[in-house]
Chain A
Amino acid sequence: MTTITPPQGQAEIQPPSSEVGVVGWLHHNLFYSKVSVVTTIVLSVLLLAAIWLLLQWVFTGARWGVVTENMRLFLVGQYPKDEIWRLWLTLALLSVTTGLSAGSSKSGAVRMLAMMVMAGQVLLAIMVLISGMGLVGALVLLLNADIVWVAMYAAQRRPIRRLWISLGWLATTVATVALIAGLGEATPLPNVSSTIWGGLLLTILLSVVGILLSFPFGVALAVGRRSNLPVVRFIATTYIELVRAVPLITILFMAQFLFPLILPDGIRIENVIRAMGGIVMFSAAYVAENVRGGLQAVPTGQHEAAFSIGLRTWQTTVFIVLPQALRITIPANVGLFISLLKDTTLVYIISLLDILGIGRAVLANPDYLGATFEVYLFVAMVFFVLSYTLSQASYRLEKELGIGER
């Protein structure tokens, strides 16, 4: 076999320097025509000016005291100082379970979520240091971040069976409720009334509870909407469409006024629980639509195969169709969780103090008059970090599951 050699005495011809390297990239992406040159220059100048002004304000003009001095409120609201260790313990439990699940899972997205739990706790540790809630809390959070890592490493070497992971999550959930809300006055875990939950804690509780509790209702509604029985189908469809047609605020408002009225006399429920009820009612309809999409994506052959081996309708739904449908609706439901997380800011209409509500309460203090932008920028940044990272994980999950590629 002969090799082609460049002619003698002539160097190998290189591409022109304007086509490769940094210069080539600039030429291809920023300065490839007269219009692009002008656009690039004008936009760069404007962008640099905007960034300059913003940085100047952030470092010299802004009074960050309003955020740093109230950091504790922003994080946990009025949660009693002596009981805060319970929150750190909750996070430690979550870290263990997350690490173990991520280590046992083959999914890159789940591992990415575990990394986010780690990074999130490091960020939280910094905020705890600022808040003056003590060095111990911050150290525990940093330790938690390590726990995620260690648990992940351990589970990678010896994967844990799925059943144990599920049971672990169940136990963690029960423990979380017990730790945050308390067990009773005489126990080592005295009750912490939901009326004093607040800040980021409340924001996350509302959205997590909202999505988790609405899931069973949503699945039931979706199955109902695809039922062969007209009455069931009608009721499910009516509920879904009614809820989806009205804004969340009206449902929160209704929950606020209607729940106390429709319950029998003598039963009183806290404001926070009413809000959770409203959010669950709301998101169930959206979960139902996501799940319905998943149900429709399961090929008819699956139903027919299930029937032909003699399964009944409910068996087909529970054992054949739902597992496949739910798997592909995970990214959509993560998306729903993200929008729910942002929408929980609306609870301030029923005077709950979520992270935005705390911000507004802080701004009502005359000491911080005029520090509006500082507060809202901080709140927006917290949401941005949560929402952006979650959406990236969801995007990755979507690619892994190969949705839209089958």
Chain B
Amino acid sequence: MADEPNGTPNGSSGTSVPFWRDVRVLAIVSQFVFLAIVLLIGSYLLNNLITNMETKGFAPHLGWLDLRAGYTISESVISYTPDDTYARALLVGLLNTLMVSVVGIFLATVIGLIVGIARLSTNWLVSKIALAYVELFRNTPVLVQLLVIYFVVFLQMPKVKESIELPLDMYLSQRGFVMPRPEVAPDGAIWFVFVIIGIAAAGTLWFLAGRREAAGQPTHGLRWFAFAAALGLPILGWFLIPGGPLEFENPELGAFNLQGGLRFTPEFLALTVTLALFTAAFIAEIIRGGIQSVGKGQLEAARTIGLTEGEVLRLVILPQALRVIIPPLTSQYLNLIKNSSLAFAVGYADVFNVSRTVSEQTGQPVAVIIIVMAVYLIISLITSVIMNFYNRAVQIHER
């Protein structure tokens, strides 16, 4: 922005501007005045806060973090008992938030990609169904969607004794979804070496193929070798290790409940599925817009020079579409993380839901809210940093 016009030229002409008309002085003074007003209002409110809290008998402090929480949390990634501290309870909530967010983001991206491409389908029916999906999910409140998916879908599943049996020892019932729990076998650790070597080899091959391609040399199917390495080495390792690298603890139908296995509660499932479906509707539109932003001429030109459909997608459409897609996609990811706080509606123990209980029990709403807001702030910041990093990688470097 241009600077404020300086009425009279100073310096060379010798007539100096009086200081109360000097823009530089004015700028500094007005900032001080502004800051003073903000600080004054802020300290007034803070003062009210402290006096009010003291008269009500709960001065803000953080000592409660080390106290015994004394209440149970229905599900947790790490071990947790009521004897643990409030700090650990909040940590359990944070990990649950992260779990819903990560699974939700993954599912939302996959569904969004499918729906976004379906929107562009030449088949009228396919594109109209995708459109109906997008409009339905974008125009209704996500909270209503969550309540429907929780109360009408997941809680209406059959009782545990009549669980729907899915292939591979998986069960779906009112109590959620149970699948075999994978555990690393005694000799299983070696298998991960195979996986790591496979991924490293695939990465190297992919990189080499890119270099050859950039230099205009044939790739000799290097990319296919990369796929083969990424998939083949882990599979080879799986069969080389006697008994397999992983052992599965299968769930078993007992008298009243399914015993053992890896269990996902209906609360977790409902929240994750809702967030994924809701966010996918927005992601689909972003992906459609991104693909459409690549000019038709680009496609035609790419086909004319003899690229295959896969190459057209990988070398022409994606690089150009991604730079349009990534920034809005980032804000959708952030929205999903923030929306995971809807967990309270179904009683899933995310960080916000845990914090409500903690603040009720400790009588420290202010401190708890500040901690929770800080947690969301940090998660958002980290996500933004990662996505910005990726965004910079996909931007086309203009010369």
**B contact residues around A391 at 8 Å (CB):** 138-139
Q: Chain A residues with Cβ under 8 A from B380's Cβ?
A: 245-246
Cβ-neighbour of B48 out of A245, A261, A303 (below 8 A): A261
Cβ of A229 under 8 Å from chain B: yes
* Given A245-B380, A383-B140, 18 more pairs with CB closer than 8 A: A29-B123, A39-B125, A40-B123, A47-B125, A226-B1, A232-B31, A242-B377, A250-B341, A258-B49, A262-B52, A264-B48, A345-B141, A345-B143, A349-B345, A377-B148, A380-B148, A387-B138, A387-B140
Report if A366 contacts B (CB, 8 A).
no
Chain A nearest CB from B388 CB (Å) reads 14
**Minimal beta-carbon separation of B212 from chain A (angstroms):** 34
Q: A379-404 CB contact bits vs B (8 Å, 1 = yes)?
A: 11001100110010000000000000
Return B372 CB to nearest CB of chain A, in Å: 6
Interface size class of A (residues with CB under 8 A): 35 or more
Q: Does B342 contact A (CB under 8 A)?
A: yes
A372 at the B interface (CB under 8 A):
yes
Task: Give the docked Cα–Cα distance between A397 and B264 (Å).
Answer: 46
Tell me, rounded to whole Å, the shortest Cβ–Cβ distance linking B343 to chain A: 10
B contacts, CB < 8 Å to A = 1-5, 27, 30-32, 34-35, 38, 45-46, 48-49, 51-53, 55, 122-126, 129, 135-136, 138-145, 147-148, 151-152, 334, 338-339, 341-342, 344-345, 352, 356, 359, 365-366, 369, 372-373, 376-377, 380-381
- Which of A40, A232, A342 is in CB contact (< 8 Å) with B140? A342
A247 at the interface (CB under 8 A from B): yes
Known: A44-B125, A261-B49, A310-B5. A250 touches B151 (CB 8 A): no
21 contacts between A and B (CB under 8 A): A47-B125, A231-B31, A231-B35, A249-B344, A253-B352, A258-B369, A261-B366, A263-B48, A345-B144, A346-B342, A373-B148, A376-B148, A376-B151, A377-B148, A380-B141, A380-B144, A383-B139, A383-B141, A384-B136, A387-B138, A387-B140
Interface residue A43 (Cβ < 8 Å from any Cβ of B): yes
Bound together, the chains give a CA A388 to CA B129 distance in angstroms of 17
Least CB separation from A25: chain B residue? B124
* A384 close to B140 (CB less than 8 A): yes
CA distance A258 to B338 in the complex (A): 21
Of all chain B residues, which has the CB nearest A349?
Answer: B344
Given A29-B123, A39-B126, A263-B48: A245 and B143 interface contact (C-beta under 8 Å) = no
Contacts of A43 in B (CB 8 A): 125-126, 129
Main secondary structure of the interface of A (DSSP, over half): helix
CB closest chain-B residue, reference A248? B338
Q: Pick the contact of B143 from A228, A257, A356, A388 — CB < 8 Å?
A: A356
Neighbour of B53 across the interface among A248, A261, A312, CB < 8 A:
A261
Task: List the B side residues contacting A348 at CB < 8 Å.
Answer: 143
Contacting pair A303 B123 (CB below 8 A): no
A280→B2 CA distance, assembly (Å): 32
A32 within 8 A of B: yes
Q: Return chain A residues, CB-CB under 8 Å to B352.
A: 247, 249-250, 253
When distances are taken between beta carbons in the complex, the residues of chain A under 8 Å from B48 are 261-265
A146 at the interface (CB under 8 A from B): no
A345 CB to closest chain B CB (Å) equals 4
Query: B-contacting residues of A (Cβ < 8 Å)?
Result: 29-30, 32, 36, 39-40, 43-44, 47, 226, 228-232, 235, 242, 245-250, 253-254, 257-258, 260-265, 300, 303-304, 307, 310, 312-313, 338, 342-343, 345-346, 348-349, 356, 360, 372-373, 376-377, 379-380, 383-384, 387-388, 391
Across the interface, do A313 and B31 meet the contact criterion of CB distance under 8 Å?
Answer: no
A376 near B52 (CB under 8 angstroms)? no
B336 to chain A, nearest CB (A): 11
Query: Are B2 and A253 in contact, with the CB atoms below 8 A?
Result: no
Residue of A nearest to B374 (CB): A246
Q: Which chain B residues border A230 with CB–CB below 8 Å?
A: 31
A263 neighbours in B (Cβ, 8 Å): 48
Are B144 and A247 closer than 8 Å at their CB atoms?
Answer: no
Q: Quick one: closest A residue to B5, CB to CB?
A: A307
Considering residues B125, B377, B381, which has the most beta carbons from chain A within 10 angstroms of its beta carbon?
B125
B332 CB → nearest A CB, Å: 13
Chain B's nearest CB lies how many Å from the CB of A22? 13
B370 to chain A, nearest CB (A): 9
Residues of A near B369 (CB, < 8 A) are 250, 253-254, 257-258
**Contact between A387 and B139 (Cβ–Cβ < 8 Å)?**
yes
Whether B135 and A388, one on each chain, are in contact in the complex, defined by CB atoms closer than 8 angstroms, is yes
For A381, the closest partner residue in chain B by CB is B140
Which residue of the partner chain, among A30, A260, A304, contacts B124 with CB atoms under 8 Å?
Answer: A30
Minimum CB distance partner of B143 in chain A: A345
| Min CB–CB distance B337 → chain A (angstroms) | 8
* Complex-state Cα separation, A253 to B351, whole angstroms: 14
Known: A43-B125, A261-B48, A261-B366. A388 touches B1 (CB 8 A): no
The one of A40, A246, A343 that contacts B141, using a Cβ cutoff of 8 Å:
A343
| Chain A residues positioned under 8 Å from B46 (CB to CB) | 262
Bound-state CA distance A367–B202 (Å) is 62
Cα(A391)–Cα(B136), bound, Å: 13
Pairwise interchain contact A304-B2, C-beta atoms closer than 8 A: yes
On whether the beta carbons of A229 and B376 are closer than 8 Å, the reply is no
Complex alpha-carbon distance, A249 and B146, angstroms: 15
Q: How far is the CA of A230 from the CA of B34 in the complex (A)?
A: 11
Q: Are B125 and A379 in contact (CB under 8 A)?
A: no
Whole-angstrom CA separation of A332 from B190 in the bound complex: 55
Give the residue name and chain of the A residue nearest to B384 (CB). Answer: A245
A197 to B175, CA, bound (A): 38
Cross-chain contact A246 with B144 (CB below 8 angstroms): no
A365–B275 alpha-carbon span in the complex (Å)? 29
Closest to B32 in A: A231
Which residue from chain A places its CB closest to the CB of B331 in the assembled complex? A244
C-alpha spacing A300/B359, complex, angstroms? 50
Give complex CA distance A30, B126 in Å: 9
Q: Are A262 and B381 in contact (CB under 8 A)?
A: no
A384, B1: Cβ atoms closer than 8 Å = no
**How far is it, in angstroms, between the C-alpha of A312 and the C-alpha of B7 when the chains are bound?**
10
Contact of B341 among A30, A247, A383 (CB under 8 A): A247
CA distance A370 to B375 in the complex (A): 38
Contact A265 B52 (CB under 8 A): yes
- Known contacts A253-B356, A261-B366: does B152 contact A373 (CB below 8 Å)? yes
Residue from B27, B135, B151, B342 in contact with A249 in the complex, judged by beta carbons closer than 8 Å = B342
Partner of A229, one of B27, B45, B52, B338: B27
CB distance from B302 to the nearest CB of A (A): 22
Is there an interface contact between B366 and A257, defined as CB atoms closer than 8 Å?
A: yes
Residues of B contacting A260 in the complex (Cβ-Cβ under 8 angstroms):
52
The one of A245, A249, A379 in contact with B144, judged by C-beta atoms closer than 8 angstroms, is A379
